[in-house]
Amino acid sequence: MTCEDMRTEDNASTITEFVLLGFSDLPNLQGLLFGVFSIIYVIVLIGNSLIIIITRLDAALETPMYFFLANFSSLEICYVSVTLPRILVNLWTQDRNISMLGCATQMCFFLMLGATECFLLAVMAYDRYVAICNPLHYPLVMNHELCLQLAAGAWIGGIPVQIGQTCQIFSLHFCNSNHINHFFCDIPPILKLACGDTWVHEAAVYVVAMLFVTVPFMLILASYSKIISTILSLPTAGGRAKAFSTCSSHLLVVLLFFGSASITYLRPKSNHTAGIDKLLSLFYTIVTPMFNPMIYSLRNKDVIAALKRQLLKK
């Protein structure tokens, strides 16, 4: 080992915390950003909580579709809570330091919940496939036991792999810098700080991304190809419109989430730039969860009717 390698190793061993640069390149907008993100967080919490409460209180929404929607809303609250509170603290205090353990914990929960979202969106697509393509068998196929199994599988399916991937990333030596040019601990910006050749770790990220992003997305595409084919074969325009309305909200959420996440994790490392990474990450970590309650409520007549019934009771 050369003297330069020894110095690099020493520097790597001394890094015990990182600095999340976040939006520090916009010093004059810190207060505005804090206000905007605070409003977004409140919207996410209230909107998704409202959906959970309505689906629990209204008997008309006690169906597999709304059971999965309540799970999805719970997931969105957890998913946003992994990143947004930390962003708000950094903006308010201007203290951007985060310990290595804190960074690894944030990444691990973010990856686990991200995998859950991919799986849950695929499960919801399967539910719509059975409802539209096999409506007579729907109550039998999507029984309560299967719904619980599918939901549990979505929640816990990615935990072992994502814990392993987090451990793999943080087993690297970091010698380039301890400044993470991002607003949370994500894989691409942290890999940029690692010493030496990281192609093995990059390959592992691609494999996991293919498993947890591409495979569920392909299953969703397969489900919707059958759904669209079935809808187009319906005899009446009213029937086609009603069938499309039951799955259009879910399809819009799928496109928003998978589109931004796929570009982030499946792009070559050479094409990663801090600005683009932050913009894409804002989409699938904050913007999409904020719009999900609006998409599912404003475009769903059953949810609106249930909300009116609950308000009239009060």
Least trusted range by pLDDT, from 32-41, 59-68, 141-150, 193-202 = 193-202
Report if residue 12 sits inside a domain: no
Predicted confidence (pLDDT) at residue 9 exceeds the cutoff of 70: no
Number of structural domains (the chain) is: 1
Report if residue 43 sits inside a domain: yes
- Region 74-101: what's the mean pLDDT? 92
Report if residue 277 sits inside a domain: yes
Least trusted range by pLDDT, from 22-31, 100-109, 141-150, 156-165 = 22-31
Report if residue 62 sits inside a domain: yes
Q: Which has more confidence, 240 or 161? A: 161
236-279 pLDDT tens trace: 777 677 767 767 777 778 887 887 777 766 666 555 566 777 87
The CATH number given to whatever domain includes residue 302 is 1.20.1070.10
Cα gap 81→44, rounded to integer Å? 10
Report if residue 2 sits inside a domain: no
Report if residue 167 sits inside a domain: yes
Mean of the per-residue pLDDT values for the chain?
84
Predicted confidence (pLDDT) at residue 66 exceeds the cutoff of 80: yes
Label residue 141 by pLDDT band (50, 70, 90): very high
Report if residue 282 sits inside a domain: yes
Predicted confidence (pLDDT) at residue 100 exceeds the cutoff of 70: yes
Least trusted range by pLDDT, from 23-32, 164-173, 258-267 = 258-267
Predicted confidence (pLDDT) at residue 8 exceeds the cutoff of 60: no
Report if residue 9 sits inside a domain: no
Domain assignment of residue 198, given as a range: 17-307
Q: Annotate the chain with DSSP letters as a single string.
A: --HHHHHHHHHHHH--EEEE-TTTT-GGGHHHHHHHHHHHHHHHHHHHHHHHHHHHH-GGG-SHHHHHHHHHHHHHHHHHHHHHHHHHHHHHH---EEEHHHHHHHHHHHHHHHHHHHHHHHHHHHHHHHHHHSGGGHHHHT-HHHHHHHHHHHHHTTHHHHHHHHHHHTTS-B-S-SEESSSS--HHHHHTTB-S--HHHHHHHHHHHIIIIIHHHHHHHHHHHHHHHHHHT-SSHHHHHHHHHHHHHHHHHHHHHHHHHHHHHHS-GGG--HHHHHHHHHIIIIIHHHHHHHHHHHT-HHHHHHHHHHHHH-
Label residue 298 by pLDDT band (50, 70, 90): low
Predicted confidence (pLDDT) at residue 61 exceeds the cutoff of 80: yes
* pTM for the predicted model, two decimal places: 0.86
